[in-house]
Amino acid sequence: TENEYQRQRRDRFVSHMNDMEWAVMHSERWKGTGSNGKRLTTTRGIVEAIKAHDSANYRNWVLDGSTTWIAGGEAWLDQYAEQLFRYGPRERLVFMGSLAALAWKQLAQASSTITVTPGTVVKWGLKVQEWMTPFGTMYFYVHPLMTAEPSARRSMLVMVPEYLRIRHLTGGDTMYLDDPMKDKGGSGSVDGIQEGWLTEWGLEYHHTECMGYWTRLGENAT
């Protein structure tokens, strides 16, 4: 059976992968000194890239709208879907929080023109829901990290996966760094184990005019 050390090592790996996935979406580019006194750099995630290069695609329904979500949400979504589909391919992958998905369901129930097909389509290795607009097709995936984070729960991130690349800085993938002082004792030892997972990479992105981040879906703008 799994011992406590093995369980913690496995849990740290899951946490490390979640942190990387969140960084792809929401990390801010930064360069400075980390808590260990060594150089630390962080990559710019997709949301921050959209804000930096194509801020017109970073939308807040409550700030843009002037009515209830049911009354004005559909027209607002059509307006900015048209804006995104002016360029690039006719398909987009959308990560969204659970309350953003609920907002879409509410619009679909109130409207005869919105149809979201249940998750029977597999795109980019994910089982997704399909929304066909007059301009192109969006594939919805309710993302667990966006659902878990309150600030992202009513948001949707619209992407073109083909325009995104992970670039590894050291030529390798995720590695586990063992504690060189483990079980050795001596003056430099600590009462614990200092080890963990390391992945050194950056996000390369292109054509952010084809992508968008829409937030506060489902709230009333009045």
Cα–Cα distance for residue pair 125/15, rounded to 1 Å: 22
pLDDT tens sequence across 94-127: 999 999 999 999 998 888 777 777 666 788 888 8
Is 167 a residue whose pLDDT tops 90? no
What is the average pLDDT score of the chain? 87
pLDDT of residue 127: 85
- Spatial neighbors of 114 by CB under 8 A, at least 6 apart, are 74, 104, 107, 108, 131
Cα–Cα distance for residue pair 160/54, rounded to 1 Å: 14
Instruction: Judge contact between 78 and 131, C-beta under 8 A.
Output: no
Cα–Cα distance for residue pair 146/18, rounded to 1 Å: 11
Cα–Cα distance for residue pair 100/92, rounded to 1 Å: 16
pLDDT tens sequence across 40-78: 788 899 999 999 999 999 999 999 988 999 999 999 999
Query: What's the token pair of residue 101?
Result: 């998905």
In the chain, where the domains are located = 4-168+199-215
DSSP, collapsed to helix, strand or coil, labels residue 41 as strand
C-alpha distances in Å from residue 109, one per residue of 13, 18, 48, 67, 74: 41, 33, 33, 18, 12
- CA proximity to 141, closest of 129, 153, 124, 155: 129
pLDDT of residue 172: 65
